[in-house]
Structure 1
Amino acid sequence: MNNITRLKPLFHPGRLLVTPEALEKLRANQIPVISVILRHVVGDWGVVSDDDRAQNDLSVTAGLRLLSVYPLPDGARVIVASEWDRSSTTIELIGQMGLAD
């Protein structure tokens, strides 16, 4: 049985940036960077609040900033942010060892 799910990107992420800390943590958790980006551009916003989820859904069409948060297997979290003009998308590490949430 061949069930193929095609995911349609909601926006172009622009230039892709990953902080060294986020890259190290993704590698340590064996999470490919592309999988995080793909989740973000297809509208899987991760573990954001319902209000933030609704804001992201609106922001896709309104041209506002987009934010996603994804937990990693070791308990760390990464945030993915696409700028309002879609010029860039950045992955950063958050909520680890005193870093700002």
Structure 2
Amino acid sequence: MFIAVNTAFPLGHMVMTRGVNDLVADDEAFARFVTESLARHIKGDWGDLDDEDKLTNDEALKQGLRLLSVYNDDRFAKHGISTIWIITEANRSATTILFPDEY
């Protein structure tokens, strides 16, 4: 379990989709990637978004809107994925880790 200390915002209930969960269970390196990505997300590091989307997230953080981070790692292309999304709901009730095709 990941415990956040200095977060930029509340994460709410932490969930991941079945696809992410299954790969986390099967691949230790992917599990580390997910944990590291979540650590970046909670600090307001939006990952591999373009500059405009990063600014949108910065404003969303101030206004209490939904937050989206995108993290890429080509090491996992062998699994047919290289990108995860982390979405924190506007009301901060939940944060979901998912693959883009699971949205």
Measured against the shorter chain, the TM-score band is 0.7 to 0.9
**Structure number with bigger Rg:** 1
**Contact 1:45 1:68 survives alignment (8 Å):** yes
User: 1:48: which partner in 2?
Assistant: 49
**Identical-pair percentage:** 31
What is the CA deviation profile of residues 15-49 of structure 1, one whole-angstrom value per residue up to 9, with x for unaligned ones? 00001111233452613343322111101111011
1:88–1:100 distance in 2 versus 1, CA, 3 Å: closer
**Contact 1:12 1:86 survives alignment (8 Å):** yes
Q: Secondary structure at the match of 1:9?
A: coil
Bigger share in helix: 2
The residue identity in structure 2 corresponding to 1:74 is F
Question: Shift of the alpha carbon at 1:9?
Answer: 1.4
Question: Shift of the alpha carbon at 1:100?
Answer: 7.0
The residue identity in structure 2 corresponding to 1:82 is T
The residue identity in structure 2 corresponding to 1:68 is S
**Matching of residue 87 in structure 1 with residue 89 in structure 2:** no
List runs of 5+ in structure 1 lacking aligned partners.
Answer: 1-6
What does 1:45-84 correspond to in 2, within 5 Å? 45-72=46-73, 73-75=75-77, 76-84=82-90
Aligned-residue RMSD, C-alpha: 2.1
User: 1:11: which partner in 2?
Assistant: 9
The residue identity in structure 2 corresponding to 1:12 is P
Q: Given the two structures, how large is their TM-score scaled by the length of structure 2?
A: 0.76
Aligned residues: 91
In the alignment, the residues of structure 2 paired with residue 21 and residue 100 of structure 1 have an alpha-carbon distance, to the nearest angstrom, of 8
List runs of 5+ in structure 2 lacking aligned partners.
Answer: none
Match of residue 20, structure 1, among 12, 18, 23: 18
The residue identity in structure 2 corresponding to 1:35 is E
